[in-house]
Amino acid sequence: MLMCRNNDKNTITSSIFCNADETESRGTRGPSGPSMGASDHRSMAHFVPLTIVFAAAAYIAGHTFGYSYESKGFISLHRDVSQYNAQRPAFYDVAQLRRFLEHKNKLNTPEGAFLMNSLNVAFIAKNVVLTMPYGKDDVRYLGDKDKLPSVSTGLELTMRSKDSGEQAAASMKLLTDFVIDQMLKQTLTSEFRNKLLSAKGKRQTLDNQLIGIDQNLVELTARLDDTRQIAARYPEAARLNERQLLTTTGESGRFLSPMAQMIGLEADIAALKTSQQRLKRTEQANTITLEFYESLNKRLPTNPTGDQLLNGLIAEIKTHFGETPPEDDVTREVYNNELLLVQSMRTQGLAQPRFTSGPTVPSNRQGLPRHLLLALSLALGVGVAGVTTLLYAIVKASRATSKSPFDGPTGGAEFAPISGIDGSAGEPANQQRRA
């Protein structure tokens, strides 16, 4: 049997009474000794400062990362939507951006570094928006005859910066230049390739057409000579009416008089010669075009920007045709066609971005309303502080309840063994009774 020694009264009672006393003592004392009211007061004392700290931290973080300078702009751009969508993947090509920034000497600038770190599909989708003549709500009020082709009206751009409004405007201007340059590059590359391949294919086509015309001329000339010989053998046929028909004895076909046939053959020969001259002129122009683009491709740098392609085209026009328009009609026709290509790029707004509004230079940061940010920060601070205080109380209570009641004098009871039959181990208890 075990007995317990009460440290306060220095007496020994049975374990049953000791447990009762311990239970009664725990009814009025908390696990760690102090009363529950004092523990609640200490928790509230921790909760209020934590709420202030967490709310202030949330407000500062929200103001730092949620507020920025936002620059806006709009450029006029009339592009077919299908063509724009085909060129869109080039807008978030990082390699193309690096090449463009190197050409513009903007790679090591703050706005250049910002674009290099931010460029991706989501960034372009968020900051570059293609605008259409009609919105979704407007289309239902238009008839089929009133609807315009799927041609855009422009690009709406936005850019944000944590540093300043000037930095936001500079970044948006650089992004606009890059997007327009990529559209210019894709358009000119397609034009150069199509014209070069077309000239190569057209060369064989025109040659075959000339061969066909030459063959027809040979045949018609031979028929004309034969008809003249027939007319010479039958001189009376010349006195016949041109509209009179003669019937052959071998077949039931009808033929004009030899004189009328000769007139028709000579007219056909004249028409073929005219077509031959036109084809030769077209072949000459095609040869000049082919030589022009073959020379242009040799002069262009590897992986050029759109600006380099346009400037290379203008320089090649001056080199190939001279500073003034050529005197020869065929050469001047090719010269004018290439100038029309340059003018087309300028008309579409691809040679130089044309802002109809912006880029704006904001003077203040923009973001959530201040009172809303303050309310959210306070709510977050209360929540985090409450969770932290609760976790602290749970950990402290678990540590207190994990202490053993046999760990020495703690104001409670201490157990001592009772001797067996020989009484050796219970001698202190006997001495206590005698006393």
Q: Label each residue of the chain as H, E or C.
A: CEEEEECCCCEEEEHHHHHHHHHHHHHHCCCCCCCHHHHHHHHHHHHHHHHHHHHHHHHHHHHHHHCEEEEEEEEECCCEHHHHHHHHHHHHCHHHHHHHHHHHCCCCCHHHHHHHHHCCHHHHHHHEEEECCCCHHHHCCCCCCCCCCCECCEEEEEEEECCCHHHHHHHHHHHHHHHHHHHHHHHHHHHHHHHHHHHHHHHHHHHHHHHHHHHHHHHHHHHHHHHHHHHHHCHHHHHCCCCCCEECCCCCCEECCHHHHHHHHHHHHHHHHHHHHHHHHHHHHHHHHHHHHHHHHHHCCCCCCHHHHHHHHHHHHHHHHCCCCCCCHHHHHHHHHHHHHHHHHHHCCCCCCCEEECCCCCCCCECCCHHHHHHHHHHHHHHHHHHHHHHHHHHHHHHHHCCCCCCCCCCCEEEEECCCCCCCCCHHHHHHHHC
Would you state the pLDDT for residue 196? 93
Would you state the pLDDT for residue 60? 65
Would you state the pLDDT for residue 137? 63
Residue in 8, 338, 353 with CA at minimum distance from that of residue 174: 353
* CA dist list (Å): 295 to 300, 334, 398: 9, 14, 86
Would you state the pLDDT for residue 97? 94
Q: What is the pLDDT along the chain (435 residues), one digit of tens a residue?
A: 444 444 444 444 444 344 434 444 444 444 444 444 555 556 566 677 777 776 677 666 665 666 678 889 999 888 888 889 999 999 999 999 999 999 999 999 999 999 999 999 999 999 999 888 776 665 565 555 555 567 888 899 998 887 788 888 999 899 999 999 999 999 999 999 999 999 999 999 999 999 999 999 999 899 888 888 887 887 765 555 545 544 444 443 355 677 777 888 888 899 999 999 999 999 999 999 999 999 999 999 888 999 999 999 999 999 999 888 888 999 999 999 999 999 999 888 888 888 888 788 887 776 656 666 567 767 777 777 777 777 777 877 787 776 545 454 444 444 444 444 444 444 444 444 443
Would you state the pLDDT for residue 337? 93
Q: Rounded CA gap, 399 and 393, in Å?
A: 10
Edge-to-edge strand order for the sheet containing 154-161?
Answer: 128-131, 154-161, 69-76, 355-357
- Give strand pairing partners of 357: 74
Q: How many residues are listed for the chain in this entry?
A: 435
Q: Rounded CA gap, 93 and 119, in Å?
A: 8
